[in-house]
Chains A and B, each alone.
Chain A
Amino acid sequence: EAGVAQSPRYKIIEKRQSVAFWCNPISGHATLYWYQQILGQGPKLLIQFQNNGVVDDSQLPKDRFSAERLKGVDSTLKIQPAKLEDSAVYLCASSLDPGGVNEQFFGPGTRLTVL
């Protein structure tokens, strides 16, 4: 079974530039999550999708971050414009059943450096 795919793996941009990350979850997984993990911290949930609808985006900085999950499969996370404090690893995860209690499967992450 293929795991969660993310691209790119690394990205370096200057502040005020825009960046986009892509995630392809495990086939058949209804729920998709985007996390931000700053060095030395645990992952912080940014947004949770169930199929193509948003379940929780309470911690997403909506003035600069946006995310979409078209057709309930792949997802993109965008930052526009980026700030220095956005430097972090952005993790995508998926889980099988939104109504139940399921483990999350994480992708390798995208390491973003904002200069």
Chain B
Amino acid sequence: SQKIEQNSEALNIQEGKTATLTCNYTNYSPAYLQWYRQDPGRGPVFLLLIRENEKEKRKERLKVTFDTTLKQSLFHITASQPADSATYLCALGDKIIFGKGTRLHILP
């Protein structure tokens, strides 16, 4: 069965540094992959979508990469701010499988 793993449950990063979150998957070849942000008590909010034929996607301070050979996506937040603290979820394309998420804490 398809499996999706996000590298760590929690990640602490110093303000101003780059935060890098990892999403690995097995037994599946998604046509696209999405990243969402979820704050406590709220529903997920869409951030970025990357297709299998795209290596990299950027949006302001966010960058996503997609390596279909490694079956891995990396999500980067540059110049991180305390307001970036949240849980970040990756989701595999048309099967709509979400990972558990990584809780990111940006330390002032």
Task: Pick from B44, B45, B51, B98: contact of A101, CB below 8 A.
Answer: B51
CA distance A48 to B89 in the complex (A): 19
Q: Are B46 and A104 in contact (CB under 8 A)?
A: yes
A106-B100 contact in complex given A42-B89, A101-B32, A101-B51, C-beta closer than 8 Å: no
CA distance A33 to B44 in the complex (A): 13
What B residues does A44 contact at CB under 8 A? Answer: 98
What A residues does B68 contact at CB under 8 A? Answer: none
CA distance A103 to B43 in the complex (A): 13
Q: Are A101 and B31 in contact (CB under 8 A)?
A: yes
Q: Are B96 and A103 in contact (CB under 8 A)?
A: no
Task: Pick from A42, A45, A109: contact of B43, CB below 8 A.
Answer: A109
Could you tell me the dominant secondary structure of chain A's interface residues?
A: loop
What B residues does A45 contact at CB under 8 A? Answer: 96-97
Within 8 A of B (CB), among A18-62: 33, 35, 40-45, 48
Closest to A42 in B: B98
CA distance A68 to B91 in the complex (A): 25
- Interface residues in chain A, defined as those with a beta carbon under 8 Å from any beta carbon in chain B: 4, 33, 35, 40-45, 48, 91, 93, 101, 103-109
11 A-B pairs in the complex with CB atoms less than 8 angstroms apart: A35-B98, A42-B89, A42-B99, A43-B44, A45-B96, A45-B97, A48-B96, A91-B43, A104-B34, A105-B46, A108-B42
